[in-house]
Amino acid sequence: MLSPLLLFCLALLAGALLACAAQPAEPQTPGLVEQIDTLLPQTQCGQCGHPGCKPYAAAIAEGAAINKCPPGGRQTIARLASLLNRAVVPLDPQHGAEGPRRVAFIREAECIGCTKCLQACPVDAIVGAAKLMHTVISAECTGCDLCVEPCPVDCIDLLPVPSPWQPVTVIESPARGSPLIGSERGRGLAT
């Protein structure tokens, strides 16, 4: 049987080891993957052929092409080229085309609450519950388009993000049943 003194010494040694392990490490500079990931638009759309921005960043760090991100477009390609000392190349059309930033909009009156859009959203920008209407938190939506296809009633539209100086409200057009974008000045653009 172990003596109480020996047990006390073992406990003291274990405590000292735990205290040393708990010391914060020196702050590390971000690695190459983190630096690349920071430059990507964080849409998590998968258009690049990877399941999200971080896996694409890891692939780029290992030598993959820097021109597979339509949401980032020319600006992201230029920033990646600068960081990695590579040539600026045009966006690969196999992965999509560059366009204006968009945000999902659910026509709530048509939503049946199937939750398929909730499951498809990679950034949890859609809220709702089964058999109840859903809505999009537009500030969180990356416009990745992944929620549109699984919707069985086709009640999700991708609308262009408004300029920061024009507050926007989305209303239903009674005549056409399509969403309209209108600013506080009363101008409206049909989608």
Q: What is the CATH number of domain 102-190?
A: 3.30.70.20
Res 161: pLDDT: 85
Say if residues 42 and 50 touch (Cβ distance below 8 Å). Answer: no
Res 188: pLDDT: 39
Q: Where are the alpha helices (DSSP H) in the chain?
A: 4-21, 32-39, 53-61, 73-84, 116-120
Q: Where are the alpha helices (DSSP H) in 62-125?
A: 73-84, 116-120
Res 7: pLDDT: 65
Going residue by residue through the chain (191 aa), what tens digit of pLDDT does each one get?
557 766 666 666 766 666 666 665 544 457 999 999 999 999 999 999 999 999 999 999 999 999 999 999 999 999 999 999 999 999 999 998 998 889 999 999 999 999 999 999 999 999 999 999 899 999 899 999 999 999 999 999 999 987 664 444 455 544 445 554 444 333 334 44
Say if residues 102 and 143 touch (Cβ distance below 8 Å). Answer: yes
CA angle 99, 35, 120 (to 5 degrees): 50
Same fold, 32-95 and 102-190: no
In the chain, domain spans: 32-95, 102-190
Say what the pTM is: 0.64
Q: Where are the alpha helices (DSSP H) in 43-180?
A: 53-61, 73-84, 116-120
> CA separation (Å) from 172 to 1, 40, 87, 134, 189?
80, 34, 46, 16, 12
- What is the C-alpha to C-alpha distance for residues 90 and 165, in angstroms, rounded to an integer? 31
Class in CATH terms, 32-95:
mainly alpha
Nearest of 55, 30, 31, 29 to residue 42 by alpha carbon: 55
Res 100: pLDDT: 87
**Tokens 């859903």, located at residue:** 134
Partners of 189 in beta bridges: 181
